Amino acid sequence: MTRTFNRAMWMSLLLSLICLILVCAIPARAQETRVGKLTGHAAAGKQNYQRWCIGCHGPYGDGNGENAQWIEPKPRDFAAAVFKCRSTPTGTLPTDEDLYNSVARGFTNSNMPHWDPLTKQTRIDLVAYIKTFSDRWKTDKPGDILKIPAEPPVTIQSIAHGSELFQKLECWKCHGQQGRGDGPSASTLTDSKDNPIRPYNFAAGTDDSRFKCGNTNQDIYKIFMTGVDGTPMPSFNDVIQPNDAWDLVHYLRTLQINRHSKENEVLRAAGGKIPKTETPATPPASQPAPQPEAKPQGGRK
Amino acid sequence: MRSTKVLITSALLLCPSLMLAGTVSGKITYTGTPAKPKTIDMSKEPNCAKAYTTPPLTESVVTGAGNTLDNVVVYISAGAPDEKSAPSQAVTFEQHNCRYTPHVLAMQIGQELKVVNSDQTSHNIHPLAKLNREWNKSQPPGTPPLSEKFDKEEFIPVKCNVHPWMRGYFAVLKTSHYAISTGDGKFTLPNLPPGKYTLTAWHENYGTNTADVTITGNETKDVDFTFKAKAY
């Protein structure tokens, strides 16, 4: 009897210990980040945050640092856990790598510089610390990473079809017909905190011009497919098929008129004019249902 | 024999609560002077502007005769158990002539929300959630309805960034007992089992009011709410 009791006691003690380890490990894991072979630690990140980031992003990570009042667009609010540059669907958390790359790259057209001079370890530690400002990192996981198929060759046809999509999807309403960020809605745009924000001006800059979330064709693909959360730029992932998305990328490159690119070369070789196409856009995957239901229901009783 | 007894006892215990169901009804009014609705200039969106013979008005404060107030969500905020599951029927939010129909849409946590674009122009649906996930999706004309769900109780402003006058609300609630005042400021909450409840009335500009009510049986209780209007 005593023996059985002792065994039961040991078993329950062991179980309690396992539970304790698990409970302690979950928050600890949330404060760690991993990119490749790098592991970031929030405790180490805190010191660097207080040195490099606190001035704009503030002690509570809510974007209310002492410099914030002078800055447009406003510094990111890490407490809201809404992030612009993601490889994950709109409304979901980004991956550690997304945040790590954002720190290194900085944000063009904003006061966020690129932090390449910091060591990789420092950057990954900073990412770990940034994730302590919101409990969402404990309850949610990053969304599924967007799958980007291989880029097809740049042709005048793909550029022409992209141009058609630019019209059809009404990108020009904000970005303007020439992509100069001067569309009819441009002056009214505000971010999620009601601060004025400007649409991207594709025509500005030259070879070193960057997009907010990267510089490669894959990055452009990712930007409009996942959207730029916290800003007016929506996600188009549900409404553009991958091959159409690549055509749009090729066209967007031609709006960067002062940038040397394969797309601009192809356009120049075609006489500088984009031909009109008859190619219909691939219908969205979940077609058909273009007709709305007769009357909205529910919600009112 | 024993199971029959259990059945009879259960029936006796359950029946009164099944049979007795009260109703709370009332009227929403305001005091003071509300801001006048503003006209919306849709000239930048000719696809929608042509649908109106007279300029459309903002809907942030919609009033009726006798100082009644519309678009107020009245719901049981305390006293009722949280719903175990969401209804299977979806609620629909329509973008029609560059307006949201309805202006305020209530739903339960986990209930399917369908967003429909009936216009010949692109919209982006951007719920500015703080407790729920904030997402932002484009919906060009002719694309299928979007399907989404929210998992936390919250009043969420919704906007279309392309058309800045488009602003509505999602009321995501824990309870199935809710109503929205329409037309004459009236609301009705039927099928309330006996119990003590707190009712909350929410308006997008005027905040919340609460009232306690006790339902003892088959009865209708009148509960009116009065909001203080702001002139700006």
pLDDT-derived band at A109, boundaries 50, 70, 90:
confident
The distance of B105 to chain A (nearest Cα, Å) reads 5
Asked if B138 lies within 8 A of A189 by C-beta distance, the reply is: no
pLDDT-derived band at A8, boundaries 50, 70, 90:
low
Using a CB–CB cutoff of 8 Å, tell me whether B103 touches chain A.
no
Q: Please write down the HEC assignment for all residues of B60-76.
A: CCCEECCCEECCCEEEE
B180 to chain A: which residues are within 8 Å by CB? 299-301
- Give the per-residue pLDDT at A108: 84
Residue with the two structure tokens 């950057």: A123
What's the mean pLDDT in B171-177? 96
Residues 105 to 124 of A: which have CB under 8 A from any B CB? none
Classify the complex by whether its ipTM is higher than 0.90, answering yes or no. no
What's the mean pLDDT in B202-208? 97
User: Counting beta carbons within 10 angstroms of the beta carbon of residue A147, is it exposed (0 to 12), middle (13 to 18) or buried (19 or more)?
Assistant: exposed
Q: Name which of B62, B116, B118, B135 to mutate to probe chain A: the one with the most chain A Cβ atoms within 10 A of its Cβ.
A: B135
The token duo for B213 is 């009510």
Q: Say if CB A211 and CB A200 are below 8 A apart.
A: yes
Checking if the pLDDT of A301 tops 80, the result is no
Using a CB–CB cutoff of 8 Å, tell me whether B105 touches chain A.
yes
- Give the per-residue pLDDT at A119: 96
Using a CB–CB cutoff of 8 Å, tell me whether B214 touches chain A.
no
pLDDT tens per residue, range A183-206: 999 999 999 999 999 999 999 877
- Give the per-residue pLDDT at B19: 63
Q: What is the DSSP letter of B210?
A: E
Q: For residue A253, give the nearest of A238, A274, A234, A271 by alpha carbon.
A: A274
Using a CB–CB cutoff of 8 Å, tell me whether B99 touches chain A.
no
pLDDT-derived band at A279, boundaries 50, 70, 90:
low
pLDDT tens per residue, range A223-240: 999 999 999 999 999 999
